[in-house]
Amino acid sequence: METVQVQEQITAMPRIGDKAPAFKAVTTQGNINFPADYKGKWVILFSHPADFTPVCTSEFMRFATLENKFGNANCKLVGLSIDGLYSHIAWLRTIKDKIEFKGMKNVEVKFPLIEDITMEVAKKYGMIQPGESKTQAVRAVFFIDPKGMIRAIIYYPLSLGRNFDEIYRALIAMQTSDAFKVATPADWNPGDDVIISPAGSCGVAEERMDKKDGELQCGDWFFCTKKLAKEELLHTVLKN
């Protein structure tokens, strides 16, 4: 294959708003057909550099411990690294049998871990970033919605373990935006005020500034927030 073509394959970067690239893969939980098998669910597809490495081990323990929490938000987890199936199995067994970290022990990873020794999936998802490593995937996190669309992407370098509170917060924030047609401001967490879309006409702008005691709090015509009770939000987004 031409060098240019290989380079293009490696650097293909799916973007927010794209359909999640489809693939079939072997995993530690059997074969999967992605994203078709996950229709109607959110999926977090994440890559990690290699099995039997410490940062990755800590991350897998956190993800496995949080799997039910993500499940309650209608979200499945799928991992990937450029290792073979038997390496994956051996590593996950070692984690369960031997590793203790921050109060977690005997942690069983029950979500699928894709074998991607050919890098086919990693290349499709832009997980190989040659400036960081030509042979290991960076720590990518793809949020894929129930319609199979990519809704958010976070990349971390090899040395930096992910923040799982942020990954969960981002998921719930996007579900909140979908369910209530609102946006979420900086550092938003369930229970905080949400942002309503900016006024789209002079009339609406005026109306918003005139309303002094409605449900909206407007700092200016383009900056309006409203309350969204945590209970209502969680009842809606965690109902599945």
Spatial separation of the C-alpha atoms in residues 25 and 104, rounded to whole Å:
29
Spatial separation of the C-alpha atoms in residues 76 and 29, rounded to whole Å:
13
55 binds ligand BEZ (CB under 6 A): yes
54 binds ligand BEZ (CB under 6 A): yes
What is the closest distance, in whole angstroms, from the C-beta atom of residue 147 to ligand BEZ in the complex?
33
159 binds ligand BEZ (CB under 6 A): yes
Nearer to ligand BEZ, 54 or 130 (CB): 54
Query: By CB under 6 A, which span of 45-53, 80-88, 99-107, 179-187 interacts with ligand BEZ?
Result: 45-53
**DSSP secondary structure string for all residues of 55-79:** HHHHHHHHHHHHHHHHHHTTEEEEE
Query: By CB under 6 A, which span of 51-59, 109-117, 124-132, 193-201 interacts with ligand BEZ?
Result: 51-59
Spatial separation of the C-alpha atoms in residues 169 and 172, rounded to whole Å:
5
Contact present, 111 and 69 (Cβ < 8 Å): no
183 binds ligand BEZ (CB under 6 A): no
Give the active site residue among 56, 75, 218, 224.
Answer: 56
224 is catalytic: no
99 binds ligand BEZ (CB under 6 A): no
Provide the residue type at 147 as one letter. Answer: K
DSSP 3-state assignment of 7? helix
Nearer to ligand BEZ, 8 or 100 (CB): 100
What is the closest distance, in whole angstroms, from the C-beta atom of residue 136 to ligand BEZ in the complex?
6
Q: Which residues of 174-195 are buried (b: 16+ CB within 10 A; e: fewer)?
A: bbbeeebebebeeebebeebbe
Contact present, 78 and 24 (Cβ < 8 Å): no
Question: According to CB under 6 A, which one of 10, 25, 26, 50 is a site residue for ligand BEZ?
Answer: 50
158 binds ligand BEZ (CB under 6 A): yes
Nearer to ligand BEZ, 56 or 171 (CB): 56
Question: According to CB under 6 A, which one of 9, 28, 53, 65 is a site residue for ligand BEZ?
Answer: 53
Count helices and strands (H / E) in the chain.
7, 10
Residues that bind ligand BEZ (CB under 6 A): 49-50, 53-56, 136, 158-159
Catalytic positions are 56
